[in-house]
Amino acid sequence: MTRRLILFAAVVSLLLFAAAQAFLFDFSGVVSIPKTEVSVAQNEPPAPVIYGIVTDSLEVRKGVVEPGETISTLLGDYNIGLSRVHALSEKAKDVYDLRRMRAKRPYTLLYARDASRTARYFIYEPNATEYVIYDLRDSLCVTLCQRRVDVVEREIIGQIRGSLYKSILNAGGSARLVDQLADIYAWRLDLNRVQPGDSFKLIFESRQIDGKTIADGQLKGAYIQHSGEPLYAIALDQGKGVTYFDQDGKSFKKAFLKEPVEFSRISSRYTQRRFHPVQRRFKPHLGTDYAARRGTPIRTVGDGVVVEASRSRGNGNYVKIRHDKTYTTQYLHMSKFAKGIRRGARVSMGQTIGYVGSTGLSTGPHLCYRFWKNGQQVDALKVKLPLAEPVREEYQDVFLAKKDSIIERMEAMDARQTRADLLAAHEAKSGQSSI
């Protein structure tokens, strides 16, 4: 009997408590009603603070700038007169000029929740990382704000289905990653030949805002398995910027650039027999001619020492560079030498050594490029170029640590992928049996 009484009392007190809660909730509900009405944006949860602005007495309108739309057309419907728009434009010039607004960029308009519908704030996003707050209240005020950008490491893994490009995009990567891969692997693997059955794993930096990727950055490590052969690329900075090495510490780069002039066309190839346009007779052409505009920079294809920077009747202004005991290159018909290029000067790969001209026996502006291997003139386009130096001795430990960590992470990626595949297979199976 007493037990029932206690139970009854408990139930009653619970009910009373619940009623009190409901009353309280109602009471506070009255206060919070405007908050729920703020969510004008379609199907979005209430966002009482936008761009750091408390919006509880404001309506929110989000949109993108349409072609032809200006600040005066955008604010015209929100009780902001032309003179005020003009004053705002003047004030904005020093911070973010309103005339720089471009179509398709997002904006947000906050206006009073009353009959006047007066605009209070206009926020424009010129790019993913910045936004400008145009405060339209009493004293006009313009502020350019930076969003916080986080740099995080991301990983993707995938099988080749279709092209490498498509497969990487499907796995959540970007065109920028594909470009980087193409640059890194250029000498070692023809990525156009990657085929179904091949696979890839990538670890890279990614710039994010609020957890959303805005741009993929540098690759830290890559793995491509082609025809059963794995080829890792491990990023390493040996003090001169990041370069990539394979799992054996061999460079992905060649010791030489492919071409001494960018944006040029080959006008004459290396041959033992060519009709010479100036001398008008057949003779060997032991170089490769690149036609390019006068003044186009000529770069040394590799590190080395200038052994000649002089002028002769046939060669015009020319530079000869000794790269090591095996390789020497020569650059002819220059209009002039680059600053500092003289006998004995040290040069590094890609450095400008002179400019395209037509000095010496030449019919028009071009570079004649010559290549010696062990004292023999050879065809620069056919010679098998050596790889750049492997990981330097003093960086061996750093490299090995990086390599181990990347391989370990990639093995963990494999394990996760296998689990996910098994789970998916299991779910597909149980889904089928229930039908």
The H-or-E segment that residue 21 falls in is helix 2-37
- Residue with Cβ nearer Zn ion (60 or 368): 368
- Residue with Cβ nearer Zn ion (204 or 318): 318
- Residue with Cβ nearer Zn ion (129 or 358): 358
| Structural tokens at position 395 | 């960086």
| Interface with Zn ion (CB under 5 A), residue from 289, 321, 356, 388 | 289
Site membership for Zn ion, residue 315 (CB under 5 A): no
Alpha-carbon span 89 to 97, nearest angstrom: 7
**Which residue is listed with tokens 């693997």?**
189
Alpha-carbon span 269 to 283, nearest angstrom: 13
- Residue with Cβ nearer Zn ion (61 or 366): 366
HEC assignment per residue over 77-124: CCCCCHHHHHHHHHHHCCCCCHHHCCCCCEEEEEEECCCCCCEEEEEE
Find the shortest distance in angstroms from Cβ 274 to Zn ion: 9
**Which window, 231-239, 241-249, 256-264, 288-296, contacts Zn ion (CB under 5 A)?**
288-296
- Residue with Cβ nearer Zn ion (62 or 274): 274
Find the shortest distance in angstroms from Cβ 337 to Zn ion: 18
Q: Hey, which residues between 413 and 432 contact Zn ion (CB under 5 A)?
A: none
- Residue with Cβ nearer Zn ion (319 or 368): 368
Alpha-carbon span 331 to 333, nearest angstrom: 7
Find the shortest distance in angstroms from Cβ 267 to Zn ion: 9
> Hey, what's the torsion of the CAs at 349, 350, 355, 360, to 10 degrees?
40
**Which window, 21-29, 218-226, 283-291, 417-425, contacts Zn ion (CB under 5 A)?**
283-291
- Residue with Cβ nearer Zn ion (75 or 368): 368
- Residue with Cβ nearer Zn ion (205 or 308): 308
Q: Hey, which residues between 345 and 374 contact Zn ion (CB under 5 A)?
A: 368
Alpha-carbon span 217 to 57, nearest angstrom: 41
The total of other beta-carbon atoms located within 10 Å of residue 286's CB is 19
Find the shortest distance in angstroms from Cβ 270 to Zn ion: 9
How many chain residues interact with Zn ion (CB under 5 A)? 3
Q: Find the residue with minimal CB distance to Zn ion.
A: 368
Find the shortest distance in angstroms from Cβ 305 to Zn ion: 23
- Give one DSSP letter per residue of 247-312, joined into a string: TTS-BSSBSS-S-SSSS-EEEE--EEEEE-TTT-SEEEE-SEEEE--TT-EEE-SSSEEEEEEEEE
* Dihedral sign of CA atoms 31, 35, 37, 43 in order: negative
Find the shortest distance in angstroms from Cβ 319 to Zn ion: 14
- Give one DSSP letter per residue of 318-343, joined into a string: EEEEE-SSSEEEEEEEEEEEPTT-ST
Cross-strand pairs, 352? 299
Q: In terms of Cα–Cα distance, which of 129, 152, 284, 276 is closest to 205?
A: 152
Find the shortest distance in angstroms from Cβ 364 to Zn ion: 12
Site membership for Zn ion, residue 287 (CB under 5 A): yes
**Which window, 165-173, 280-288, 291-299, 376-384, contacts Zn ion (CB under 5 A)?**
280-288
Site membership for Zn ion, residue 216 (CB under 5 A): no
Find the shortest distance in angstroms from Cβ 338 to Zn ion: 20
Find the shortest distance in angstroms from Cβ 254 to Zn ion: 23
Q: Three-state DSSP class for 314?
A: coil
- Residue with Cβ nearer Zn ion (287 or 304): 287
Find the shortest distance in angstroms from Cβ 386 to Zn ion: 24
Q: In terms of Cα–Cα distance, which of 274, 251, 286 is closest to 376?
A: 286
| Structural tokens at position 119 | 């605009």
State phi, psi for 281 to the nearest 5 degrees. Answer: -155, 160
Q: Hey, which residues between 105 and 164 contact Zn ion (CB under 5 A)?
A: none
- Residue with Cβ nearer Zn ion (216 or 289): 289
Q: Summarize as ranges the residues that interact with Zn ion (CB under 5 A).
A: 287, 289, 368
